[in-house]
Amino acid sequence: MPRDQDPSDVADENSSADDPTPHTTPSRSSVGEVAREFSRLRVTSFGGLVAHLGYFRTAFVERLRWLSDRAYADLVALCQFLPGPASSQVGMAVGLSRAGYRGMAVAWAGFTLPSVIALVLFAYAVDSLGDISSSGWIAGLKAVAVAVVAHALLGMVKNLAADRERATIAAGAMIFALLVPGSFGQVGAILAAGAIGVVWLRATSADPDAHLPLPVRPSVGIVSLVLFFGLLVGLPMLVTLTSNDGLRLFDVFYRSGALVFGGGHVVLPLLQAEMVETGMIGMEEFLAGYGAAQAVPGPLFTFAGYLGTLNTTGPDGILGATIATFGIFLPATLLVLGVAPFWNRVRHIPTIRRALLGINAGVVGILAAALYDPVFTSGITGPIAMAIAAATFVALQSWKIAPWIVVVLGALAGWAFL
């Protein structure tokens, strides 16, 4: 791409060239256009990863026709291949393809920051209440968390562990994560699942006609990948050498964002191991924030802002929230930029596709382990809590009630009965 050419121009050329179906694409897209669309999405995007991807498809494929169906499917495949918040990565990639790097930044800010602000305000409210461990509404939120994680797990089993081979990998990952607690157990389970997938699973072939309309120069991609791996390896060393609390907080959230596959719910066990088991936040506050995160639109990774605000071993408040939020989303940004120039070739490699199948099955197992500990063991304290969890699970799974409504009702039930 010529040095002075805007990425959005290349996106338009690519998106029209890869799909014979005509769809309207302006010659140059403004940052304001991207900001307007993501501002609309930020107030309606409840329901987690699958729901977010559905909202995006309705907006960008069906209504605006910014992308073809094939191009959008390829984009989703890329972001599900990468660790991190897939819905945020899809949103950033759409912004990038429409209005260059500024569009990417605006898309992320529009989709993410309102939820971060809401959860930071909730954290201040929790902090002002003092000891909340015996509050009924907190017990209700913890019971709702059981239903939310169980609902997410069921959907992931259907999509990512439907056959006996992948179900076996998922069960093995669950057992490993339970027997080896902490972040080492989760990361080890993911790596093992990917390796097993390479030698055991069979992958379907990639669509040779689909093309990913992301205009990123290979040089930018290489620099982004070097930064991604450099920070992943270098940050723990710097923390050890400097003992800086702010750097430690950034490292916790950077590693969590860099090592999580499968969407926001799977970050729960990693953050629980890093934050609760090290004393950076209490279990009651952790689960209360996780429950509250279900009541706001946007990606679940915005939970980081809440945790950073209440951090007790270093920067807290607004500074802690900023460090945590930036840390958990930075890996996703670097990976989108890093992989985009090479994805059209990499996605055809059978080994990569088999590893991805194994990793996705391993993610299911890790989430199953988290459902038991800490979510179930902390959230179900008696028959009433179990009743709240069961009722809210049915509301989510069978009645398709919006998650934020379920969270509010669960908190009210806890306040009234627990």
Burial group, residue 146, by CB count within 10 angstroms (0-12, 13-18, 19+): buried
- C-alpha 103/C-alpha 322 separation (Å) is 21
- The tens digit of pLDDT for each residue in 263-293 reads 666 777 778 888 888 778 888 788 888 877 8
Q: Which residue has the higher pLDDT, 44 or 78?
A: 78
**Once rounded to an integer, what is the mean pLDDT over residues 323-336?**
92
pLDDT for the residue 173: 92
Residue 353's pLDDT band (boundaries 50, 70, 90)?
confident
pTM of the model: 0.72
- The tens digit of pLDDT for each residue in 101-146 reads 888 999 998 888 888 888 898 888 877 776 565 678 778 878 887 8
pLDDT for the residue 77: 63
- C-alpha 328/C-alpha 232 separation (Å) is 12
- The tens digit of pLDDT for each residue in 231-246 reads 999 998 898 888 888 8
- The tens digit of pLDDT for each residue in 238-268 reads 988 888 888 998 998 898 888 876 566 677 7
pLDDT for the residue 61: 79
**Once rounded to an integer, what is the mean pLDDT over residues 359-368?**
82
- The tens digit of pLDDT for each residue in 300-316 reads 788 888 899 988 887 88
- The tens digit of pLDDT for each residue in 193-232 reads 989 999 999 876 655 545 556 778 899 999 999 999 999 9
pLDDT for the residue 141: 79
pLDDT for the residue 134: 65
The DSSP annotation for 347-366 comes to TT-HHHHHHHHHHHHHHHHH
| Whether 380 contacts 260, CB under 8 Å | no
- C-alpha 95/C-alpha 9 separation (Å) is 13
pLDDT for the residue 221: 93
- C-alpha 374/C-alpha 181 separation (Å) is 11
- Which amino acid type is present at position 170? A
Q: Highest mean pLDDT range out of 26-40, 315-329, 352-366?
A: 315-329
**Once rounded to an integer, what is the mean pLDDT over residues 377-382?**
86
- The tens digit of pLDDT for each residue in 47-97 reads 566 557 767 877 887 788 888 776 776 677 677 667 888 788 888 988 888
To the nearest whole number, what is the mean pLDDT of the chain?
A: 80
12 has pLDDT over 50: no
Residue 384's pLDDT band (boundaries 50, 70, 90)?
very high
413 has pLDDT over 90: yes
| Whether 174 contacts 408, CB under 8 Å | no
| Whether 293 contacts 119, CB under 8 Å | yes
Q: Which residue has the higher pLDDT, 212 or 168?
A: 168
| Whether 173 contacts 362, CB under 8 Å | yes
Beta-carbon contacts of residue 19 (< 8 Å; ≥ 6 apart): 68, 70, 71, 211
Q: Which residue has the higher pLDDT, 150 or 346?
A: 150
